[in-house]
Structures are given as structure tokens and as C-alpha cells.
Amino acid sequence: MQGGQTKKPTSDAKPTIASTERRAITLLITSIIIIKDAHLTMAKKILILNGPNLNLLGTREPEIYGSETLQDVETLCKEKAQDLDLKVDFRQSNHEGILVDWIQEARVSFDAILINPAAYTHTSVAILDALSATGKPIVEVHLSNIHKREEFRHTSYVSKIATGVICGLGIHGYALGMEALSRLLSSHK
């Protein structure tokens, strides 16, 4: 370059509109791929709900419900969640309205529900309606075989909306329910 002459910009120095657009499109596509991959690899979240009197497990009619406590059930579910690469939130309430609130929360915050509605199984239209409104896969679980027991336990409102029902297998039923939900969720990616 000779005295005082300024260098002319080359075509590389200033991007043309076309190349700017191309870069923007590439960036957009890359971001979409990253977001999609992150979504596919993100652990699915399961809400595990337990209804009234299940806080007494271990001491409540152990000949029917077994000697394991609710804490044992929670530990089992958390171990199973690790095996299946799921996230779980394990809760229990003796109150119908609280269970309804939690089920409503699942509409936005969870991918599926595993529920032992306990006595509300046989009485609660409110829980049935809340579950229906989630549009999520639902597994109903019972420790005892409700069909072998009193007549009033043979009717389940929750079964009218549940994707599947497991009963009579004790706390192992929770682990089976989680496996079923994991399969359902991976086939609905």
C-alpha cells in the first residue's frame, strides 16, 4: 500500500444481506436442534399421589396392606426412578381438595401421574374430573386386590379415566406402575 491510500474493503469484510441471512438461518436451525435434543433427553416428571390413611402404612391393617411404611414406598419409587431415568415427586394427603389441587398442578408441571387414591377411589367424582382434565397418562395403583374385598371397593371412579390399573401386588405395584408410565412416555416423544 502506498502513502495515504486507504485499503478498499474486500467483499469478505462486509457481509452481504444474503450471507447475513444465511448465517441467521444456520443459527436458528442449530438452536432448534439443541432445544429439541435437550427436550428429548430431559427426564420425564411423574407425580406420585397417595390418598387418605396411607400415611398409616406399616401399622394400619398389615394383614391387608403389608408391613412396609409409606417411607418405604417412597424409597422404592425413588430407586425405581433412578433406574428408569425419571424424576418423581411423592406426596400424600388425607384431604380430597389438596389431592385435587395437586392433580391440577400436574397439568403444567408433570408428564404423568401414578395415584393410589385410597378410599377416594370409590367416592370421588372431584378426583376423577381433575384427573380427566390433565390429559396425561395415569396409572391407578392399590396395594390390596380391591376386587377380592367388600362390594363397595369394587367400584373405582378413577378407573374410568386411568390408562391402566394395578392392584393386589403390594408396594411392588408402584414400581410396576412407574415402569408402565415410563414406557408410555417414551412411546409418546
State which residue, 37 or 61, has the beta carbon closest to ligand DQA: 61
- Residue count (the chain): 189
CA distance 140 to 49: 10
Yes or no: say if 16 and 59 are a contact pair by the CB < 8 Å rule. Answer: no
**Residue 144, interface with ligand DQA (CB under 6 A)?**
yes
- Residue 135 CB, shortest distance to ligand DQA, in Å, is 24
Note if 142 is an active site residue. yes
138-142/112-116 β-pairing: parallel
State which residue, 118 or 130, has the beta carbon closest to ligand DQA: 118
- The DSSP element (H or E) to which 106 belongs, if any, is helix 96-109
**Residue 44, interface with ligand DQA (CB under 6 A)?**
no
State which residue, 34 or 64, has the beta carbon closest to ligand DQA: 64
Buried residues in 80-117 as b, exposed as e (16+ CB within 10 A): bbeebebebbbebbbebeebbebbeebeeebbbbbbbb
**Residue 57, interface with ligand DQA (CB under 6 A)?**
no
Instruction: Figure out which of the listed residues 49, 115, 118, 139 binds ligand DQA, where binding follows CB under 6 A.
Output: 118
Residue type at position 84: L
**Residue 99, interface with ligand DQA (CB under 6 A)?**
no
Yes or no: say if 84 and 181 are a contact pair by the CB < 8 Å rule. Answer: no
**Residue 53, interface with ligand DQA (CB under 6 A)?**
yes
Yes or no: say if 144 and 64 are a contact pair by the CB < 8 Å rule. Answer: yes
Residue range at the interface with ligand DQA (CB under 6 A); choices 10-18, 27-35, 36-44, 143-151: 143-151
Note if 120 is an active site residue. no
- Residue 70 CB, shortest distance to ligand DQA, in Å, is 11
State which residue, 94 or 163, has the beta carbon closest to ligand DQA: 94
Cell numbers at 162, concatenated: 386411568
State which residue, 138 or 143, has the beta carbon closest to ligand DQA: 143
CA distance 72 to 78: 10
Residue in 120, 122, 142, 154 annotated catalytic: 142
Cell numbers at 110, concatenated: 408433570
Catalytic annotation, residues: 65, 142
- List residues near ligand DQA by CB under 6 A: 53, 116, 118-119, 121, 142-144, 146, 153
